[in-house]
Structure 1
Amino acid sequence: MRRIRLVVLAAGAVLALTACGSVEAAQDAASDDAGTDAGAGDATAAEDAGGEAPAGPVTLTDARGEELRLDAPAAEVVGLEWGVVENLVSLGVMPVGVADVTGYTNWVQAAPLDDGVEDVGMRGEPSIDALVALDPDLVISTTDLAPNIIEQIEEFVPVLVVRGADAERPIEQMRDNLELTADAVGRGEQAQTLLEELDAALADGAQQIADAGAEGDAFVLADGWMEGSNVSIRMFTPGSLAGAVGEELGLDNAWDAEGDPDYGLAQTDVEGLDGLGDVHFLYYANDQAGGDPFAEGLTGNAIWESLPFVERGDVDRLPDGIWMFGGPRSVEQFVEATVTAVTS
Structure 2
Amino acid sequence: MFQKYSFLRKRLKASGLSLLIIGMALSLLSACGSTKAENPAEPSQTAAAVEESQAPEASEAPEASVEVSATKTVTDEQGHELVIPAKPLKVFAPYMEDSLLSLGVTPIAQWGNSGKGQAYLQDRLKGVPTVEFSGGRPPSPEQIMDFEPDLIILHTAHYADDGIYEQYSKIAPTYVFVNAAGDLNSSITKLGELLGKPAEAKQALGDYEQKKEEAKAKLAPVADGKKAVLINFNAKGMYLIGGNYFGGYVLSHELGIGKSKLVEEKNSVDASLEILPELDADFIFTIDYAGSGAANIKELTDNAIWRSMPAVKAGHVYAVSDEYWTGGGLIAYSKIIDDIVRFLAP
So what's the TM-score if we normalise by structure 1? Answer: 0.70
Check the 8 A contact 1:182/1:191 in 2, yes or no: yes
In 2, Cα distance between the equivalents of 1:103 and 1:327? 21
Q: Select which of 109, 113, 121 maps to 2:132.
A: 121
Check the 8 A contact 1:120/1:127 in 2, yes or no: no
Check the 8 A contact 2:261/2:280 in 1, yes or no: no
Is 1:274 aligned with 2:285? no
Residue 248 of structure 2 corresponds to 243
Check the 8 A contact 1:219/1:282 in 2, yes or no: yes
Q: What are the superposed Cα offsets for residues 145-184 of structure 1, whole Å, 9 maximum, x if unpaired?
A: 1250111121222111112258xxx3xx222222222222
Q: Select which of 229, 232, 253 maps to 1:223.
A: 232
1:206 is paired with a residue whose SS is helix
In 2, Cα distance between the equivalents of 1:292 and 1:255? 26
Residue 46 of structure 1 corresponds to none
Higher helix fraction (1 or 2)? 2
Give the length in aligned residue pairs. 274
Distance 1:184 1:293, change over 3 A: farther
Check the 8 A contact 1:233/1:270 in 2, yes or no: no
Alignment of 1:1-344 (within 5 A): 56-80=70-94, 82=95, 84-100=96-112, 105=117, 107=118, 109-110=120-121, 112-122=123-133, 123-141=136-154, 142-145=156-159, 146-164=161-179, 170=182, 173-210=183-220, 212-227=221-236, 231-236=237-242, 238-240=243-245, 242-247=247-252, 248-260=254-266, 264-276=267-279, 279-286=282-289, 288-292=290-294, 295-344=297-346
So what's the TM-score if we normalise by structure 2? Answer: 0.70
- Unaligned stretches of 5+ in structure 1? 1-53
CA shift, 1:271, in A, is 2.3
CA shift, 1:250, in A, is 4.1
Check the 8 A contact 2:76/2:176 in 1, yes or no: yes
Distance 1:189 1:108, change over 3 A: farther
Higher RCO (CA 8 Å, separation ≥ 6 residues): 1
1:120 is paired with a residue whose SS is strand
In 2, Cα distance between the equivalents of 1:278 and 1:163? 29
Q: What amino acid maps onto 1:243 in structure 2?
A: G
Q: Give the greater-gyration-radius structure (CA).
A: 2
Q: What are the superposed Cα offsets for residues 10-41 of structure 1, whole Å, 9 maximum, x if unpaired?
A: xxxxxxxxxxxxxxxxxxxxxxxxxxxxxxxx
In 2, Cα distance between the equivalents of 1:147 and 1:278? 38
CA shift, 1:208, in A, is 0.5
2:223 is paired with a residue whose SS is coil
